Amino acid sequence: MKKKGIIYRLSLWLTPGLYSMISRLLLATCRVDFPDRERVRELIAGPPCVFAFWHYSLVYVVHLSRDGSWVPMVSASGDGEYVARILEGLGHRTVRGSSGRGGVRALREMLKLIGEDGNGAIVADGSQGPPLVLQGGVVLMAGHLGIPVVPICWAADRYWTFKSWDRTVLPKPFSRIRVVLCRPFSVPKGTRRQELEEYRRTLEAEMLGLYREAWGAFGIKSH
């Protein structure tokens, strides 16, 4: 058990640097079509917003987050610790929690940090899925602060998928990547809890449309 603990701690120490190096090398070979890149930079530099993305798209979204300071919510699981270390290595202030573990506390902390300074980033379908089904946290957060949600999605023409519930996508070397952005989605500040479900369904429909647009650029229906 002690040996396992040492290996785990060592891997946590090594992972951020290795991930940063490998992802930079891999993604540097890819051709990226991202017509709204400047718009994303303007949003990051402007008033606070919450970037929302599907769980499968984590790899490139982490790479994209190099453009500015985000406050991402990361799963409180052991696997989530690796993601948190990578993001913190990029200069982000992470919040740990999920719908099944410390979610309410994490949401409150995230609201505080975004209110002070920064933009939020949250996985729309949560840390455990089901995939491509919007969880309520992002809508609740946006309504509480009165800040817009900015959905973002990407696809690749050639890629690997992990054997995970979300089929996480990793672009292959020299692949083409298409990144698309939705118009900011607003949830009025102070929206009552019983009204949030309507906003959740609307935002989910917009994000599914964005998903189809990104993959459809390569003639792919779903990854």
Tell me the per-residue pLDDT of 127-144, one tens digit each, with 9 for 90 and over: 888 999 999 888 988 888
84-119 as b/e: b if 16+ CB within 10 A: bbbbeebebbbbbbbbeeebeebbebbbebbeeebb
Least confident of 20-34, 137-151, 206-220: 137-151
Q: Tell me whether residue 221 is in a domain.
A: no
* Total-model pTM: 0.86
CA distances in angstroms from 175 to 2, 15, 37, 157, 160, listed in the order given: 42, 24, 19, 6, 11
**pLDDT band of 2, cuts 50, 70, 90:** very low
Given this model, what pLDDT does residue 79 score?
72
Q: Tell me whether residue 223 is in a domain.
A: no
Given this model, what pLDDT does residue 102 score?
55
In DSSP terms, 72 is beta-bridged to 121
Given this model, what pLDDT does residue 34 score?
94
Cα 148 to Cα 139: distance, rounded to the nearest angstrom: 9
Q: Tell me whether residue 139 is in a domain.
A: yes
Tell which wins on pLDDT, 15 or 202: 202
Q: Tell me whether residue 85 is in a domain.
A: yes
Whether the per-residue pLDDT at 145 is higher than 90: the answer is no
Which residues 6+ apart lie within 8 Å of 110 measured at CB? 71, 73, 95, 120, 122, 141
**pLDDT band of 115, cuts 50, 70, 90:** low
Given this model, what pLDDT does residue 98 score?
63
Q: Tell me whether residue 54 is in a domain.
A: yes
How many Cβ atoms are within 10 Å of 46's Cβ, its own excluded?
9
Note down the domain range covering 52.
2-216
How many Cβ atoms are within 10 Å of 78's Cβ, its own excluded?
9
One-letter amino acid at 145 equals L
Tell which wins on pLDDT, 31 or 73: 31
Given this model, what pLDDT does residue 117 score?
63
Q: Quick check: 48 and 118 in contact, CB under 8 A?
A: yes
Least confident of 34-48, 106-120, 155-169: 106-120
The arithmetic mean of pLDDT across residues 27-38, rounded, is 93
Which residues 6+ apart lie within 8 Å of 9 measured at CB? none
Cα 123 to Cα 59: distance, rounded to the nearest angstrom: 12
Q: Quick check: 168 and 55 in contact, CB under 8 A?
A: yes
Least confident of 14-28, 32-46, 94-108, 162-176: 94-108
Strand ordering across the sheet containing 95-96: 31-33, 176-181, 149-156, 50-53, 119-123, 70-74, 95-96
With CA atoms as reference, report the closest residue to 165 among 76, 78, 55: 55
- How many structural domains compose the chain? 1
One-letter amino acid at 69 equals S
Q: Tell me whether residue 222 is in a domain.
A: no
